[in-house]
Structure 1
Amino acid sequence: MNSFFLFCMILCACTKICLVYCDNLQDTCPAATGKQSIFINGLPCKNPATVTPSDFKSTKLSSRGDTDNFFRSSTTIVTAADFPGLNTLGLSIARTDLDVDGLVLPQSHPRASELFFVSAGVVIAGFVDSKNQLFQKILKEGDVFVLPRGLLHFCVNAGNEAATIFSVLSSQNPGEVSVAGAMFESDPDMINKLVSKTKSLVNGLENATLFGFN
Structure 2
Amino acid sequence: MKTFAHLFFMLLLFVPFTNKIQVCLADCDNLQDTCPAVQPNKQTIFINGLQCKNPSNVTAQDFKTTELSNAGSSDIFGASLKIVTASEFTGLNTLGLSIGRTDIDGNGLVNFHYHPRATEMIFVTKGVLLAGFVDTKNQFFQKYLKVGDVFVFPKALFHFCLNHGFQEATFFSVFNSQNPGFVTLSPTTFDTTLESLDKIKKRLISLSASEAHDVTGFISPELENIYS
What's the TM-score bracket when you normalise by the shorter of the two chains?
0.7 to 0.9
2:143 counterpart residue number: 137
Distance in 2 between residues matched to 1:114 and 1:186, nearest whole Å: 24
Distance in 2 between residues matched to 1:97 and 1:198, nearest whole Å: 17
Change over 3 Å in CA distance of 1:132–1:161 after alignment to 2: same
| Aligned 1:70-109 pairs, distance under 5 A | 70-109=76-115
Give yes or no for the alignment of 1:34 onto 2:66. Answer: no
Shift of 1:32: 1.3
Maintained 8 Å contact 1:31/1:43:
yes
Maintained 8 Å contact 1:127/1:152:
yes
Q: TM-score, normalised by structure 1?
A: 0.82
The letter for the 2-side match of 1:54 is Q
Change over 3 Å in CA distance of 1:194–1:205 after alignment to 2: farther
Maintained 8 Å contact 1:105/1:195:
no
1:65 counterpart residue number: 72
Q: Which residues of structure 2 form unaligned runs of 5+?
A: 6-27, 211-215
Give yes or no for the alignment of 1:177 onto 2:183. Answer: yes
1:23 counterpart residue number: 29
Maintained 8 Å contact 1:105/1:198:
no
Maintained 8 Å contact 1:107/1:177:
yes
Give yes or no for the alignment of 1:188 onto 2:191. Answer: yes
Change over 3 Å in CA distance of 1:189–1:30 after alignment to 2: closer
Give yes or no for the alignment of 1:121 onto 2:134. Answer: no
Distance in 2 between residues matched to 1:38 and 1:175, nearest whole Å: 21
Distance in 2 between residues matched to 1:192 and 1:92, nearest whole Å: 35
Q: Aligned to 1:165, what secondary structure does the other structure show?
A: strand
Counterpart of 1:165 (choices 171, 176, 179) is 171
1:53 counterpart residue number: 60
1:107-163 deviation digits (Å, cap 9, x = unpaired): 000000000100111001100001111100000000000000000000000000110
1:59-85 deviation digits (Å, cap 9, x = unpaired): 011012223x42111001000111110
Q: Aligned residues, how many?
A: 198
The letter for the 2-side match of 1:152 is F
Counterpart of 1:197 (choices 193, 200, 219) is 200
Maintained 8 Å contact 1:90/1:170:
yes
Change over 3 Å in CA distance of 1:116–1:192 after alignment to 2: farther
Shift of 1:46: 1.1
Q: Aligned to 1:188, what secondary structure does the other structure show?
A: coil
Change over 3 Å in CA distance of 1:138–1:38 after alignment to 2: same
Q: Aligned to 1:185, what secondary structure does the other structure show?
A: helix
Q: TM-score, normalised by structure 2?
A: 0.77
1:211 counterpart residue number: 224
Maintained 8 Å contact 2:29/2:95:
no
The letter for the 2-side match of 1:129 is D
Distance in 2 between residues matched to 1:156 and 1:117, nearest whole Å: 14
